[in-house]
């Protein structure tokens, strides 16, 4: 008979983006009495980094713990976006059950499928939380049916299908087991966790096994390994062996152990089987490695991490404005920063190229890589990046590319345009549901390269009313011919100088301008989008010649259109193969790889000839 630790429960909260995980954790922290009554806590307290607060998404998995009626509940708040799926997978190893949060109106979305699949693969016990029950048009019973269908589709066993359901409004802090009536607190949710989530096995008398699932870094303590003790007991000062991924063994001493309570790390002297803890003292620790007692080395199975599907080239900035705005601009500094990112981000790969000033950086998706670039520019780095490309693999001797499962919610009148545009990007329609409310849900399988740059086109097509979600599905044989890509050419500056109002007005009829008057530009910099498919060079630095003659019609007052300002993600999606995005702490500029017009034309001719041959 196994001994169980009844004083502890380990759960992960999983959901699609924006279904309310982080808000739910906030309420659980408040209602469990973990915070003092006079303690000030920010909204979405778990989203601690600036980008998470700005975008309203969770990027890094975080852990917290609450005490409820004598039980310590360890909670892992996971990202909902598939680009951070590497975080989700590792967290599943640390817990015994999951809270699957589903929006009472939106129902099951692509990332719901993704995170649930990971949980079922680990045989975790699920509790379904139908959140936002107070929303207009909430349809809780239908959503529960959708969830049951999804469980069956993903091959859940009979025990997993018998999941309890809690209906909640995280924003109001209420929950209940009845969809038509809410209690005024979240007791129903806490009770469901205590009743249904299995307790960890208490095998603390056996030799220690602790596996690292997440990494943190602290200037005073160095690298910190966060993970679960699967067996045995760990004490401060204990001499242990670290089983490395390459099979080697490193000896070290545990200097500090931290437990979690609320948003704080609490220093503790010892921890035992079932506890989630952070450990310092081992400089070279990595995700998936096992800590054991000296002389009793026994490694746990290595954590499987999904491979990257998208790559970009990161380069030292060599534009005419290089070094003006950044603090760190050399290849040594950029390489150090990329290597340090590898210490905490296991879904990332950094490979050297033939050039010492360029690296191929591979990740799980555009968002994954753009978050890294955004963090780097905020830290003072200056660099250039190329167009994102999908990673092609050989599967059973066939060249294969990543294919995404796409789910789109749009008003009825835009369905035709969306189906046509995804058809042109080699999309294959799986399903179309019209629930009579004027909204239509479309499901497609689309090659990942067909989705690069699609979101801007999609928002224009649907006038901003459409919602697009996609998640990696599988590798499938390459589609022939061009898939996706930008159709429009660009306006390229032919001069160095400052963009003038007169210069901009003169070329406005050629397309959409990206810069404002007074912006410094250089030869080869992209300053707008052409209305046609070819690139043209323009002079937007031109100033009006002053003369002492007065024209008969005087100067007409000309109103200038507002320039199109693109975010970092939009800029990355916009790029073509012969272009770079120059990223500095103050600016995001698009440019041609070859700045000189004549050289560019020669290179284009050469590549055309090469293609014909």
Residue linked to tokens 């796409």: 406
Pick the closest to residue 165 from 209, 196, 122 (CA basis): 196
Sequence-ordered strand ranges (E) for 112-221: 125-131, 165-169, 174-176, 209-218
Q: How many CB atoms lie within 10 A of CB 256?
A: 18
- What Cα–Cα distance (Å) separates residue 105 from each residue in 139, 202, 462, 515? 6, 41, 20, 41
449 close to 483: Cβ distance less than 8 angstroms: yes
CA distance 580 to 11: 43
Q: Which residues contact 396 (CB under 8 A, 6 or more apart)?
A: none
CA distance 349 to 370: 14
Please return the burial class of 398, using the count of CB atoms within 10 Å of its CB with bins 0-12, 13-18 and 19+.
Answer: exposed
Full 3-state SS string of 532-568: CCCCEEECCCCCCCCCCCCCCCCCCCCCCCCCCCCCH
In degrees and rounded to multiples of 5, residue 35 shows phi and psi of -90, 150
Residue ranges at the known binding site: 18-23, 131-134
- What Cα–Cα distance (Å) separates residue 399 from each residue in 256, 391, 477, 588? 49, 10, 6, 35
CA distance 510 to 513: 9
Angle (CA) 71-75-76 rounded to 5° is: 160
- What Cα–Cα distance (Å) separates residue 583 from each residue in 17, 328, 342? 27, 12, 21
Q: Which residues contact 354 (CB under 8 A, 6 or more apart)?
A: none
Residue ranges at the known binding site for GTP: 18-23, 131-134
Q: Is the dihedral of CA 181, 182, 188, 192 positive or negative?
A: positive
Q: For the chain, report the end-to-end CA distance as a whole number of angstroms.
A: 74
């Amino acid at each position: 008979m196994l001994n169980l630790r009844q004083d502890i429960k380990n759960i992960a909260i999983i959901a699609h983006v924006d279904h309310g995980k982080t808000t739910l954790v906030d309420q659980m922290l408040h209602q469990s009495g973990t915070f003092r009554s006079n303690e000030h806590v920010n909204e979405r307290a778990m989203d601690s980094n600036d980008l998470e607060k700005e975008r309203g998404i969770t990027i890094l998995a975080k852990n917290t713990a609450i005490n409820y009626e004598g039980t310590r509940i360890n909670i892992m708040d996971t990202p909902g976006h598939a680009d951070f799926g590497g975080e989700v997978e590792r967290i599943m190893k640390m817990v015994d059950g999951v809270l699957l949060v589903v929006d009472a109106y939106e129902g099951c979305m692509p990332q719901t499928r993704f995170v649930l699949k990971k949980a079922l693969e680990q045989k975790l016990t699920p509790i379904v939380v139908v959140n936002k029950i107070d929303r207009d048009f909430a349809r809780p019973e239908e959503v529960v049916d959708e969830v049951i269908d999804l469980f069956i589709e993903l091959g859940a066993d009979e025990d997993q299908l018998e999941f309890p359901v809690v209906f909640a409004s995280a924003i109001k802090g209420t929950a209940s087991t009845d969809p038509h009536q809410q209690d005024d607190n979240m007791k129903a949710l806490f009770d469901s966790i205590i009743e249904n989530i299995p307790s960890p096995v208490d095998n603390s008398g056996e030799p220690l096994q602790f596996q690292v699932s997440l990494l943190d870094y602290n200037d005073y303590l160095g690298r910190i390994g966060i993970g679960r003790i699967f067996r045995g007991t760990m004490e401060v000062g204990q001499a242990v062996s670290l089983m490395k991924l390459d099979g080697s063994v490193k000896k070290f001493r545990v200097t500090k152990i931290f437990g979690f309570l609320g948003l704080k790390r609490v220093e503790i002297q010892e921890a035992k089987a079932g506890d989630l803890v952070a450990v310092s003292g081992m400089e070279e620790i990595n995700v998936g490695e096992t800590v054991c007692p000296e002389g009793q080395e026994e490694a746990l199975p290595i954590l499987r991490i999904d491979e990257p599907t998208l790559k970009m080239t990161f380069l030292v900035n060599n534009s005419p404005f290089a070094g003006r705005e950044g603090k760190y601009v050399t290849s040594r500094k950029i390489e150090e920063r990329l290597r340090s990112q590898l210490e905490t981000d296991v879904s990332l790969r950094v490979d050297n190229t033939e050039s010492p000033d360029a690296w191929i950086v591979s990740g799980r998706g555009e968002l994954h890589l753009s978050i890294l670039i955004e963090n780097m520019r905020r830290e003072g780095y200056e660099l250039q990046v190329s167009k994102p490309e999908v990673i092609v693999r050989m599967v059973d001797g066939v060249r294969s590319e990543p294919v995404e499962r796409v789910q789109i919610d749009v008003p009825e009148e835009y369905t035709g345009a969306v189906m046509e545009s995804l058809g042109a990007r080699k999309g294959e329609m799986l399903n179309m549901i019209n629930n009579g409310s004027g909204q239509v849900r479309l499901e497609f399988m689309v090659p990942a390269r067909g989705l690069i740059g699609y979101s801007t086109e999609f928002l224009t097509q649907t006038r901003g009313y459409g919602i697009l979600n996609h998640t990696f599905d599988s590798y499938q044989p390459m589609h022939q011919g061009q898939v996706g890509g930008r159709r429009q050419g660009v306006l390229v500056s032919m001069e160095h100088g400052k963009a003038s109002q007169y210069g901009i007005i003169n070329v406005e009829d050629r397309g959409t301008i990206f810069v404002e008057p007074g912006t410094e530009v250089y030869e080869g910099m992209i300053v707008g989008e052409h209305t046609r498919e070819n690139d043209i060079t323009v002079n937007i630095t031109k100033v009006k010649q002053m003369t002492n003659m007065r024209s008969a019609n005087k100067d007409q007052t000309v109103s200038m259109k507002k320039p199109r300002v693109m975010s970092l993600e939009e800029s990355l999606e916009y790029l073509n193969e012969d272009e770079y995005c120059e990223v500095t702490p103050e600016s995001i500029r698009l440019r041609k790889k070859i700045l000189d017009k004549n050289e560019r034309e020669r290179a284009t001719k050469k590549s055309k000839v090469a293609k014909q041959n």
